[in-house]
Structure 1
Amino acid sequence: MDTREECIYSIALTQIPGIGHIWAKKLVDGMGSAVDVFRLRRELPERLAGVNVRVVEALDCPQALSRAEQEYEFAEKNHIRCLTLADESYPSRLRECDDAPIALFFKGNADLNSLRVINMVGTRNATDYGKQLCASFLRDLKNLCPDVLVVSGLAYGIDIHAHRAALANGLPTVGVLAHGLDRIYPSVHRKTAVDMLQKGGLLTEFPVGTVPDKHNFVSRNRIVAGMADATIVVESASKGGSLITADIAESYHRDCFAFPGRTMDISSIGCNQLIRDNKAALLLSAEDFVKAMCWDSSSMPAKAESIQRSFFPELSEEEQQIVAILDRQGNQQINTLVVETDIPVHKMNAILFELEMKGVLRVLAGGMYQLLR
């Protein structure tokens, strides 16, 4: 596949009026590439359910391709990577979400498919309590899991303090933006954004010239939630973007945690509600988090050297691949297995269930899968 061509056509598809995130991804998944969505557009109604003539007509749009070519040229000139669904560097966890962007723009050096990815979100009106939580949590997490990628939104409050705490502790951190990479918003965070390019990066689905409107921040939140193993809400009022991110994370079947606060503190109302409503697990420390996620290497069982492949002669090639990873690396979460095997998450779910029914593995707390001896 021609990478340049796929990038341009993927960008162009995002410029077609009336085709949202979900349908754009359905079209690309259904046809195998954005290039074929355009070139074989007349075949779409026959090949994909729900596609009508209006979609075919909308795709006949030279202006969208022209705009996409300009965007791609800007990206190349400014050393920005365009990541399509077909790109190995595209965040695998995000790719499996129904409304995942079909094109992302990334500037930086972080591995978006790190084995451990968290996002930290919260109120824009962070208190000293929230700022201290960001600093102490990431300091302790660095000692326990030095390879964690920290994701947030570069916004005022908890977001920027999470990024700065990550940088201070030598953790890679990625900011997901609600606008194009031709600007930094808010501008007062420019220095931190530049520092993040050295250890982390900036990621967006929006082309240059995009104004950071309110609805773009809501759209951005699904990327923050979708590319991480877990969402951590540090502080939140009764309403706010971090609660939206927590809801999205839940819809993606990702883990969600919240730090509690005093009952009368406005900045902790949202967190306390999440915990009360069982939408987020109570979080008190990095140690709590690592144990809940089963990222504690000391708690990993010894490698199951005694497992004989002959015990499982009925395993398929993909099942054997999963067993081999669990045998070699110990307990793993589904997102890690998806990244390691490149098996789509919906298919991975079915395979893991089958292995569980066969008595080959079991599910532990935190969504970890353990190979049985």
Structure 2
Amino acid sequence: MVEEQHLYEVAITKLPGVGTQLTRQLVSYCGSPKAVFEANAAKLSKIPGVGTVSLRNILEGRKQALYHAEEIVKQAEAQDVQLLFYTSPKYPDRLKQIADAPALLYFRGNGNLNQRRIISIVGTRQITNYGTSVTEKIIESLKPYNALIVSGLAYGVDVVAHRAAIQAGLQTIGVMASGPETVYPAVHRKYAERMLTQGGLLTENSFGTRPDAPRFPARNRIIAGMSDCTIVVEAALKSGTLITADLAHGYDKEVMAVPGNITSPVSEGTNHLIKSLKAVAYTSVQDLVELLNWDLQDEAAAKKVKQPSVFSPEEFTPDELKVLQVLQQNGEEQMDNLSWKSQIPVSMLASVLLGLEFKGIVKAKPGKKFALIS
């Protein structure tokens, strides 16, 4: 019998006309994907974002969505694919902070998608000898930091990064534009199979999805969103790689680019990123270490500096601690965002916030925003 939780998590992503944002809204207000399927029309119609059309789509599409989901869950079990809904602790935390992150991911492998240090390495398919050498050098220099390497399993820089990570003993994740069972290009299957025991393969696409061209830009947002920094090795001035860099920049993620020969077409993109101040020049691993403050982090760890717990578990409820943790990490938050980040339904969150206000810990701000009282 298929696991009920996964069944409803998959099913809610199969409701017609219900995108990622509305999915989060529905779960936030109803409390769980299952509750969305059990809610009546009156309750659903009161949820912000649910209009006449979307209400009809939800009510009329629930039965078919559950049927479709059951088939997907069975396939996942048969092919050892993990179904990671955005509320799962295994879902990439960094990606969860991105507004357009997928509600559901399909994952094969043993990698930790929330590893302490995650770096994306991307670039042209027409990689040069210089690009190959630099990519391998970057990976080798990341060994002491035990970084997880993310790329897109494509020709060129992507596969060189995956291969170098495997050889260096680092975990590496290939983000795909196809279904979880389809490795594209097929010639990279030998690397993909090795990655299953030293990282894994990740996609937002269900079984049977072909790697059609429009899916690659969508895949790029996952590559950009789940890492601490995106490093562009080589890229033409007009290329999909620059889309990834732009996405990372738009997500307020760090972007680095390797300076290249000014006469090389595949260095035009990287040099432009540096020139336009959209990327920091990468000349050695020390540039990355200083940009991300890894040196300071390691220094603190070496001295065993432990920050005292500001909030005692004895003084707050589990839900209050979840809210406090989110506000500590992100500063002020709008109520709906606070709901899905803390995984507390809006209906319950209001009372939690009220309790924290009475305790003098949290204050309400204009626009339904909340923040810690400094």
TM-score, normalised to structure 2's length? Answer: 0.79
* Coordinate RMSD, CA, aligned: 2.7
Match of 2:134 in 1: 133
AA paired with 1:262?
N
AA paired with 2:135?
C
Once residues 208 and 186 of structure 1 are traced to their aligned partners in structure 2, the CA distance between those partners, rounded to angstroms, is 16
Q: Does 1:166 align with 2:137?
A: no
- 1:83 positional shift: 0.9
Deviations 1:78-126 (A, max 9, x none): 1111111221111111112111111111111111110101111111111
Q: Does 1:239 align with 2:220?
A: no
Range moving further from structure 2, 161-170 or 29-38: 29-38
How many residues align structurally?
322
Deviations 1:128-152 (A, max 9, x none): 1111111011111113x1x211011
- 1:21 positional shift: 2.9
Match of 1:69 in 2: 70
Aligned residue for 1:79, secondary structure, equals: coil
Q: Does 1:45 align with 2:45?
A: yes
Once residues 331 and 37 of structure 2 are traced to their aligned partners in structure 1, the CA distance between those partners, rounded to angstroms, is 32
Q: Does 1:112 align with 2:113?
A: yes
Match of 2:92 in 1: 91
Matches within 5 A, 1:149-298: 149-296=148-295
- 1:53 positional shift: 2.2
Match of 1:350 in 2: 331
Aligned residue for 2:294, secondary structure, equals: coil
- 1:270 positional shift: 1.1
Query: Using a 3 Å threshold, how does the CA distance of structure 1 residues 347 and 98 change in structure 2: closer, same or farther?
Result: farther
- 1:13 positional shift: 2.6
Question: Which blocks of at least 5 consecutive residues in structure 1 are unaligned?
Answer: 310-314, 322-340, 353-373
Query: Using a 3 Å threshold, how does the CA distance of structure 1 residues 317 and 269 change in structure 2: closer, same or farther?
Result: farther
Once residues 264 and 147 of structure 2 are traced to their aligned partners in structure 1, the CA distance between those partners, rounded to angstroms, is 30
Matches within 5 A, 1:312-327: 316-317=311-312
Query: Using a 3 Å threshold, how does the CA distance of structure 1 residues 241 and 346 change in structure 2: closer, same or farther?
Result: farther
Match of 1:58 in 2: 57
Once residues 16 and 299 of structure 1 are traced to their aligned partners in structure 2, the CA distance between those partners, rounded to angstroms, is 46
- 1:183 positional shift: 1.5
Instruction: Check whether the contact 2:25–2:48 (CA below 8 A) recurs between aligned residues.
Output: no
Once residues 23 and 88 of structure 1 are traced to their aligned partners in structure 2, the CA distance between those partners, rounded to angstroms, is 21
Query: Using a 3 Å threshold, how does the CA distance of structure 1 residues 123 and 28 change in structure 2: closer, same or farther?
Result: farther
Instruction: Check whether the contact 1:25–1:98 (CA below 8 A) recurs between aligned residues.
Output: no
Query: Using a 3 Å threshold, how does the CA distance of structure 1 residues 267 and 180 change in structure 2: closer, same or farther?
Result: same
Q: Does 1:80 align with 2:61?
A: no
Once residues 347 and 31 of structure 1 are traced to their aligned partners in structure 2, the CA distance between those partners, rounded to angstroms, is 26
Deviations 1:158-201 (A, max 9, x none): 11111001001000001011111221110000000001011010
Aligned residue for 2:330, secondary structure, equals: helix
Instruction: Check whether the contact 2:109–2:201 (CA below 8 A) recurs between aligned residues.
Output: yes
Query: Using a 3 Å threshold, how does the CA distance of structure 1 residues 148 and 308 change in structure 2: closer, same or farther?
Result: closer
Identical amino acids, percent of aligned pairs: 40
Aligned residue for 1:214, secondary structure, equals: coil
Match of 1:362 in 2: none
- 1:349 positional shift: 2.1
Instruction: Check whether the contact 2:124–2:241 (CA below 8 A) recurs between aligned residues.
Output: yes
Aligned residue for 2:3, secondary structure, equals: helix
Aligned residue for 1:101, secondary structure, equals: coil
AA paired with 1:167?
I
- 1:207 positional shift: 0.7
Question: Which blocks of at least 5 consecutive residues in structure 2 are unaligned?
Answer: 317-321, 334-374
Deviations 1:312-353 (A, max 9, x none): xxx5559x99xxxxxxxxxxxxxxxxxxx897766622179x
Once residues 163 and 256 of structure 1 are traced to their aligned partners in structure 2, the CA distance between those partners, rounded to angstroms, is 19
Deviations 1:240-295 (A, max 9, x none): 22211111112221111111112221101111111111111111111221122111
Query: Using a 3 Å threshold, how does the CA distance of structure 1 residues 344 and 213 change in structure 2: closer, same or farther?
Result: farther
Query: Using a 3 Å threshold, how does the CA distance of structure 1 residues 346 and 156 change in structure 2: closer, same or farther?
Result: farther
- 1:303 positional shift: 5.0
Once residues 91 and 103 of structure 1 are traced to their aligned partners in structure 2, the CA distance between those partners, rounded to angstroms, is 11
AA paired with 2:236?
A
Query: Using a 3 Å threshold, how does the CA distance of structure 1 residues 181 and 31 change in structure 2: closer, same or farther?
Result: same
Once residues 52 and 150 of structure 1 are traced to their aligned partners in structure 2, the CA distance between those partners, rounded to angstroms, is 42
AA paired with 1:207?
S
Once residues 219 and 161 of structure 1 are traced to their aligned partners in structure 2, the CA distance between those partners, rounded to angstroms, is 22
Instruction: Check whether the contact 1:154–1:177 (CA below 8 A) recurs between aligned residues.
Output: yes
Once residues 135 and 13 of structure 1 are traced to their aligned partners in structure 2, the CA distance between those partners, rounded to angstroms, is 42
Instruction: Check whether the contact 2:123–2:157 (CA below 8 A) recurs between aligned residues.
Output: yes
Match of 1:357 in 2: none
- 1:41 positional shift: 5.5
- 1:25 positional shift: 3.0
AA paired with 1:5?
E
Query: Using a 3 Å threshold, how does the CA distance of structure 1 residues 345 and 137 change in structure 2: closer, same or farther?
Result: farther
Instruction: Check whether the contact 2:20–2:101 (CA below 8 A) recurs between aligned residues.
Output: yes
